[in-house]
Amino acid sequence: MAKQKYLECGKAVSTHGVRGTLRLESWCDTPGTLAALGTLYKKNASGEFVPMKVRSSSVQKGMALVSFEEVNTLEDAIPYKGTVFYADRDEIKTRPGDVFVADLLGLSVKDAETGEVYGTLSDVISPGGRDIYVVDDVRGGSFMIPAVKEFIRETVTEGERAGVYVSLIEGMRE
């Protein structure tokens, strides 16, 4: 499975002030990760990614405040409300072992001991600051796994062994 070059990183939820600044809801690990990017991308009508150079950015109340070189007034900013912005994966600072959610989605979820396939990872949610993996079960329906080392033994995003290897407790798939 080829890795996506551009990853969803946030959404413009409102404007801020009169100089064209946008308030972006961060879909990154932290709003600071989003605010640190020098270029964000938006999709045009034909699905191409268009770069937008960040003039300045900061974090305020859990949101990224971003000013773009191309957006200078409140009137310029209003049409961007609701726009999903993307980042080039190569421009995001990562640490060893970091994995993008986009690279997890669609992976097989397998028993770490037997290799039995339980299903496919369909979503990652973070209701209380800790990730929870949503798995579409091969038997039908879905179940959730907290993304902690007690349950997630190994994650391989590329190659023949690609998958999320887990150790489940009794009743977790019910």
Residue range(s) occupied by CATH 2.30.30.240 in the chain: 101-166
- For 34-63, write each residue's pLDDT tens digit: 999 999 999 999 999 999 999 999 999 999
Which of 78 and 158 is assigned the larger pLDDT? 78
Residue 29's pLDDT band (boundaries 50, 70, 90)? confident
The answer for residues whose C-beta is within 8 angstroms of residue 149's C-beta and 6 or more apart is: none
Q: CATH classification of 6-91 is 2.170.130.10, yes or no?
A: no
What residues pair up with 136 in beta bridges, in sequence order? Answer: 120, 142
User: What own/partner pairs with CB < 8 Å and gap ≥ 24 does 73-81 have?
Assistant: 73/18, 73/19, 73/20, 74/15, 74/17, 74/18, 74/19, 74/20, 76/20, 77/15, 77/20, 77/21, 77/22, 78/15, 80/12, 80/22, 80/42, 81/12, 81/13, 81/14, 81/15, 81/22
- For 95-133, write each residue's pLDDT tens digit: 887 888 889 999 999 999 999 999 999 999 887 778 899
CATH architecture of 101-166: Roll (2.30)
Residue 19 · residue 38 · CB < 8 Å? no
Percent of the chain with pLDDT over 70: 99
What does the pLDDT average to over 82-87? Answer: 96
pLDDT, position 110: 97
pLDDT, position 97: 79
Residue range(s) occupied by CATH 2.40.30.60 in the chain: 6-91
